[in-house]
Structure 1
Amino acid sequence: MVNHNPGRQPPEPLGTAARRAALRLLDAVLRRGEPLESALALATRALPGGPDRGLAHAIAAETLRRLPDLDALIDGATRMRLADDAKARFVLRIALVQVLALRTPPHAAIATVLPLVDGGPKRLVHGVFGSLMRGNAALPDVPTLPAAVAARWGAAWGADAVAGAARAIAVPPPLDLTLRDAGETDAWAARLGGVSLAPGHVRVTDAGPIAALPGFDDGAWWVQDLAASIPARLLAGAGADVLDLCAAPGGKSLQLAAAGHRVTAVDASESRAARLFENRDRIGVAFDVVIGDVLDWAPDAPADGVLVDAPCSATGIFRRHPDVLYRAHDGVVADMAALQTAILARAADWVRPGGTLVYATCSLERAEGEEQAARFLSARADFAVAPVQAAELPAGIAPTAAGFVRTVPGTLADAGGCDGFFVARFVRASG
């Protein structure tokens, strides 16, 4: 038969576009250092609908969770090691994670990735994949952390925390909800089929679509990791006027406003603040919102309490955002620590004499936590630690000997774990 369209390419297998988007996402994270969520819109813009976008995100996220183990399989099946940034390596990662973690049939996994190496080493990709499938390749039940991360966290928190982090990344984290009315904790725990680890908190597993849960439309609760709810809990006695700096998406502002404080929430990002407005309107509590950079903006008067939920490396939220394991290298941590120091220096001046300053980061890096607190106390003789008491914290979380809060991988492991967080509370001298 004569081919009347010799230049026309055969159609790609159904589902290839989603795999191409996953490849773009991995490239954005691993080669350009972009956050996975930030890269999602551009990488998936050509996809027709939500399910394909969800698949692309799932493939990329699971690849990042399993990257060292996927690479170990690939390296064990190649005579010459593929470069870390070789397209063949990226494509093999995508094919293997589909079969070994997402339970995609092998023929569908390889058929939908081979077009991604068009003009490249298709035969190599097909051969390595086939060899691994014939050899019954498998991933370990507990993923291997990137070597640099394991070394850094091991030095900071010990081998048990590293093992806890590896176990934590293997399973989806539970869903934590903060209630608008803490007095209804028991009722909502029963209605949602969850458990409570603190007043105003409910933890749910296998929750399904969040918007379909009871209470969502009524604004009875919002999603907030248990550890992330601690900073606002420590401002309970701060007084009526509270500044929540770097506030978006607004969980802590919601907590403070629901507790009866007069809150001003400040954030530099208009796009992030959009979520803050959305959450405020759904929950139905009132607080003021300012779009402004705290390095330029200043309040009209000091406040009774100031909460600094500072920008950070975000390594503490690796369970939900595994891309941070590859983006948050030493340079990023150092840059974030410098920014935190600058923000704290300004925020301290906005605390009235006798008032309270709470500093928090969702980071597992000492430079952004314990060392930052030490630098602050050294620079500001008018502030002292206001030690956190055990009774102020969720069950299973205890203050450190210095009076701070530090959650690490393994904290609350038997109850589903929590994010890595550091929280310090300071009081300004009255005179």
Structure 2
Amino acid sequence: MTRPPSRSAGRSPDRPADPPGVPARRAALKLLDAVLRQGLPLEAALDRATQGIDRGDDRALAHAIAAETLRRLPDLDALIDSATQRPLPDDAKARFALRIALVQALALGTPPHAAISTVLPLVDGGPRKLVHGVFGTLMRANKSLPEFPTLPEDAEARWQNAWGEERVAAAERAIAAPPPLDLTLADSAATDALAEEMDGTSLLPGHIRLASGSVRELPGFEEGGWWVQDIAASLPARLIGKGSGTALDLCAAPGGKTMQLASAGWAVTSIDSSESRLARLRENLARTHLEATVIAADLLKWSPDAPVDAVLLDAPCSATGIFRRHPDVLHRVNPKVIAEMSRVQAQLLARAARWVKSGGTLIYATCSLERAEGEEQLMAFLAAQPDFAIDPVSVEELPAGIIPHQRGWVRTLPGMLGKEGGCDGFFIARLRRGT
């Protein structure tokens, strides 16, 4: 009688069942493989890598191991290379297994015996002996990881060239600690009372910052008076301000900026190409009791029926500005990716410009630390669109610690708001169409 295949995570039918604790480590290995060899985003690979793992805490552990490994990859590899006669290939399973064992023991607080025993089943034969030997050598030598992770060489070189050594050092400090939890409020008048109730701080009206927290258990979640949104990500919609006209939120999902615009009085139409992400946007609108017209469409093919008063384009980008939350971007993004994203941004900007009324506002934003997706993109747009000009952002419109560029745009960088917990990297330009 043929038996059905086992549902153990990623296990072929002829392989024995994994001992306790091993499925989470096997899933972590799959996640690292998806990011480092296949170039997939960590979050996009999570469901497939954890298929067959029923416990939520095991899935969370797999994610935590993979994410922390990606945060500290150069330093983990340096330790491994210091204990081997010849460097292991970057894609060798033994190197992946050692990364997982070491990050648990040196960064996540897992007892060394548990860290190695749950990793050895991932490798066979000679590599298993190698993994065990290298791990033991490093543990006996009391090796440790540096306080602040080392950035990958290519990211460090790009950012040092663009922003200088001080910002690179700030990025290393920023990635070492979990980022705070930022909330945007639908009603800024409730800021002080809710901040006190949550024991949080506010950097702007309508903003609350918490050290951490379980989102669904925070006061006011069910009532829908706020949503999670990094303070830098909240600036593009803030710079449009209040209004009663028509607004387009392009690439809108999961909806933070849509909700900002709706709560500020705008009649919002939100467009995104992803049906699954739009489902989250609709859920967010329902929870917050805010209204917007939601459309699933390709912006390179879709057009509105008529020009609008305000357009917000938070364009697809390399996402290097959110490296604190998503360290996989440091290992997936390269000059080719940046160039391709820049090409898409230029196309979207040219289309979005047509949809702005005379005298209307166009906001261009990217969560990127790359000049090609920010300053250089803006200069090219202004050269091609003489009827648009920068509408300079004032200091009063921004949280203390973020200063607009002398030409009027906003660039948030590692180290800004450092004492308050930092912020994501963003580029934001507010443009006005001539009358």
Give the TM interval when normalised to the shorter protein.
over 0.9
Residue matched to 2:239 = 234
- The answer to whether the 8 A contact 2:234-2:257 is kept is yes
SS in 1 for 2:173: helix
One-letter amino acid of the counterpart of residue 354, structure 1? G
For 1:196 and 1:81, how far apart are their aligned partners in 2?
49
Residue matched to 1:276 = 281
Residue matched to 1:55 = 61
1:111 matched to 2:112? The reply is: no
1:411 matched to 2:411? The reply is: no
SS in 1 for 2:45: helix
SS in 1 for 2:200: coil
Give the one of 88, 94, 100 matched to 2:100.
Answer: 94
One-letter amino acid of the counterpart of residue 180, structure 2? P
CA displacement, residues 350-400 of structure 1 (integer Å, 9 cap, x when unaligned): 000110100000000000000000010000011011011111112221110
Residue matched to 2:6 = none
- The answer to whether the 8 A contact 2:242-2:264 is kept is no
- The answer to whether the 8 A contact 1:238-1:305 is kept is no
One-letter amino acid of the counterpart of residue 158, structure 2? R
Residue matched to 2:11 = none
1:245 matched to 2:250? The reply is: yes
Structure 2 counterparts to residues 11-410 of structure 1, below 5 A: 12-119=18-125, 121-207=127-213, 209-236=214-241, 240-410=245-415
For 2:194 and 2:405, how far apart are their aligned partners in 1?
31
Post-superposition offset of 1:11:
5.1
Which portions of structure 1, spanning 4 or more consecutive aligned residues, are displaced by more than 6 angstroms?
none
Post-superposition offset of 1:317:
0.2
- The answer to whether the 8 A contact 2:160-2:167 is kept is yes
Post-superposition offset of 1:239:
5.1
- The answer to whether the 8 A contact 1:244-1:266 is kept is yes
One-letter amino acid of the counterpart of residue 417, structure 1? G
Percent identity over paired residues: 64
CA displacement, residues 146-174 of structure 1 (integer Å, 9 cap, x when unaligned): 11111100000111100000000000000
Post-superposition offset of 1:13:
2.6
SS in 2 for 1:104: coil
One-letter amino acid of the counterpart of residue 368, structure 2? S
For 1:198 and 1:394, how far apart are their aligned partners in 2?
6
Q: How many correspondences in the alignment? A: 422
- The answer to whether the 8 A contact 2:318-2:333 is kept is yes
For 2:127 and 2:249, how far apart are their aligned partners in 1?
53
Residue matched to 1:4 = none
The unaligned stretches of length 5 or more in structure 2 are 1-13
Residue matched to 1:5 = none
SS in 2 for 1:345: helix
One-letter amino acid of the counterpart of residue 404, structure 1? W
SS in 2 for 1:339: helix
Post-superposition offset of 1:10:
6.4
- The answer to whether the 8 A contact 1:232-1:256 is kept is yes
SS in 2 for 1:121: helix
- The answer to whether the 8 A contact 2:242-2:261 is kept is no
For 1:414 and 1:121, how far apart are their aligned partners in 2?
45
SS in 1 for 2:178: coil
For 2:285 and 2:69, how far apart are their aligned partners in 1?
35
For 1:307 and 1:386, how far apart are their aligned partners in 2?
14
One-letter amino acid of the counterpart of residue 204, structure 1? L
For 1:303 and 1:236, how far apart are their aligned partners in 2?
15
CA displacement, residues 325-373 of structure 1 (integer Å, 9 cap, x when unaligned): 0011111000000000000000000000110100000000000000000
Post-superposition offset of 1:9:
7.2
Post-superposition offset of 1:180:
1.0
For 2:333 and 2:393, how far apart are their aligned partners in 1?
29
For 2:204 and 2:125, how far apart are their aligned partners in 1?
57
For 1:366 and 1:10, how far apart are their aligned partners in 2?
51
Post-superposition offset of 1:40:
0.3
One-letter amino acid of the counterpart of residue 138, structure 1? S
One-letter amino acid of the counterpart of residue 424, structure 1? A
Post-superposition offset of 1:206:
2.9
SS in 2 for 1:358: strand
For 2:171 and 2:116, how far apart are their aligned partners in 1?
31
Post-superposition offset of 1:402:
1.0
One-letter amino acid of the counterpart of residue 285, structure 1? L
For 1:344 and 1:310, how far apart are their aligned partners in 2?
8
For 1:237 and 1:205, how far apart are their aligned partners in 2?
29
For 1:295 and 1:393, how far apart are their aligned partners in 2?
32
One-letter amino acid of the counterpart of residue 278, structure 1? E
TM-score of the superposition, structure 2-length normalised? 0.96
SS in 2 for 1:52: helix
The unaligned stretches of length 5 or more in structure 1 are 1-7
Residue matched to 1:3 = none
Post-superposition offset of 1:120:
5.0
CA displacement, residues 164-217 of structure 1 (integer Å, 9 cap, x when unaligned): 00000000000000001011111111011100000100000132x110111111
- The answer to whether the 8 A contact 1:409-1:417 is kept is yes
For 1:11 and 1:197, how far apart are their aligned partners in 2?
51
